[in-house]
Amino acid sequence: MPTIDISNDYQYFDNIEAVTLTLERNAGDTTVAITKALRGAKSTAELSRMGARFATDSLTFFLPGNEVGSSNNVEPGDTITDGASTPVVYTILDVSRVEAGSILSGYKCSVTPERT
Amino acid sequence: MAGTSAYNQIIDEVSTQITALSLSGLSNVVKMKSSTIRKKEVAGLPACLISPFGQPVMIKGDAADNIGVNLIQYPVAVLLVQVGNQNQTTNFDRLALWLEKIVMEFHHKEVAAVTAGNVYSCDVSPRETFQQDAWLDNLDLGGLVLRFPCQLTRS
């Protein structure tokens, strides 16, 4: 069975955008420039907390594995900053590796925007 | 029928007293039926949300005891919400201090401003200081429940 290499598929994606991935670590943060991120649609829901309800935005970003780099691990608590004129910082809540066999395509990150 | 309910007066007085504390950085004190931070009701964060909590409780004394006559306990939820953005240190002390000041404002104190009943004390039930699920939503959320025993006059 042939091995399908999906690690470079991101080079052909439409609707990409540049973002900055920040790996937030106790020893010091690392920033990684991502040129071809894919943003998913935003949804907003009111969630129950301590008997009150609070609206929360949620969406996903896909970050190509080759751009994140093999030495970097994306983890909850890391952030993605978009390239808007007033940049929005998104907190990563969970991360899924997108793979075919042992070939990594990238990271699907569920995020919520920081509040102001 | 004219008049106002004791419960409504109690919640109004909670709002008045918390506003009068002039808690540093907290300008939005909002009375609600059901707590939310919808933009329609809350101008921005931080905010103090005040609403009824659960069900009032009828308190019953024994046959020779007048203390329990016409006595109802009214619970009031006080929630403090500020931007958190999952930062572990920013405004930690501010929210904790707000909660402490509110506890000291009400704990075991009469609320004489309520005229629809005799609110002779208050029991404070602290809740979480930084609720974890809200923290993951980039909110710092802490709160407490104020329980006011209120003797009503039977007409």
Concatenated DSSP letters for B93-120? HHHHHHHHHHHHHHTT---TT--SSEE-
Spatial contact of B98 and B23, defined as CB atoms under 8 Å apart: yes
A106 occurs within a structural domain: no
Residue B35 to residue A112, Cβ atoms within 8 A: no
Weakest-pLDDT range from B35-44, B45-54, B64-73, B128-137 = B64-73
The pLDDT of residue A70 is: 92
A107 occurs within a structural domain: no
Range of the domain at A90: 16-45+53-101
Weakest-pLDDT range from A5-19, A86-100, B129-143 = A5-19
Query: How many domains is chain A built from?
Result: 1
Q: CA A114 to CA B10: how far, in whole Å?
A: 35
Q: CA B77 to CA B34: how far, in whole Å?
A: 10
The pLDDT of residue B61 is: 65
Q: Which residues contact A109 (CB under 8 A, 6 or more apart)?
A: A60, A61, A62, A63, A74, A80, A92, A94, A95
Q: Left (φ > 0), alpha (ψ -120 to 50) or beta: where does B54 sit?
A: left
Could you report the predicted ipTM of this complex, rounded to two decimals? 0.88
Q: Identify which has the larger pLDDT, B3 or B19.
A: B19
Residue B35 to residue A91, Cβ atoms within 8 A: no
CATH number at residue B124: 3.30.70.1700
Q: Identify which has the larger pLDDT, A57 or B66.
A: A57
Residue B139 to residue A54, Cβ atoms within 8 A: yes
How many residues does this entry show for chain A? 116
Range of the domain at B118: 6-151
Point out which residues pair with B72 in neighbouring strands: B58, B150
A10 occurs within a structural domain: no
The pLDDT of residue B109 is: 96
- CA angle, B77 then B82 then B86, to 5°: 120
Q: CA A33 to CA A13: how far, in whole Å?
A: 17
Q: CA B135 to CA B148: how far, in whole Å?
A: 29
Q: CA A110 to CA A95: how far, in whole Å?
A: 6
A45 vs chain B: nearest CA distance in angstroms? 11
Q: Which residues contact A44 (CB under 8 A, 6 or more apart)?
A: A55, A56, A57, A58
B127 occurs within a structural domain: yes
| Cβ under 8 Å to B: A residues 51-110 | 51-56, 77, 89, 91, 93
C-beta neighbour count of A70 within 10 angstroms: 8
* Cβ-Cβ contacts under 8 Å, A110 against chain B: none
pLDDT at B58 over 60: yes
The pLDDT of residue A76 is: 97
Q: Kindly state the average pLDDT of the residues A74-99.
A: 97
pTM: 0.91
* Cβ-Cβ contacts under 8 Å, B136 against chain A: 93, 112
Q: Kindly state the average pLDDT of the residues A66-90.
A: 96
A114 vs chain B: nearest CA distance in angstroms? 5
The pLDDT of residue A3 is: 74
pLDDT at B60 over 90: no
pLDDT band with cut points at 50, 70 and 90 for residue B7: very high
- B31-48 burial string, b = 16+ CB within 10 Å, else e? bbeebbbeeeebeebbbb
DSSP character string of B131-142 = -HHHHHTTEEEE
In chain A, the percentage of residues whose pLDDT exceeds 90 is: 85
pLDDT band with cut points at 50, 70 and 90 for residue A4: confident
A109 occurs within a structural domain: no
Query: How many domains is chain B built from?
Result: 1
A35 occurs within a structural domain: yes
Q: Kindly state the average pLDDT of the residues A6-14.
A: 88
pLDDT at B65 over 70: no
Residue B137 to residue A47, Cβ atoms within 8 A: yes
In chain A, the percentage of residues whose pLDDT exceeds 70 is: 98
pLDDT at B1 over 60: no
pLDDT tens digits for B96-108? Answer: 999 999 999 999 9
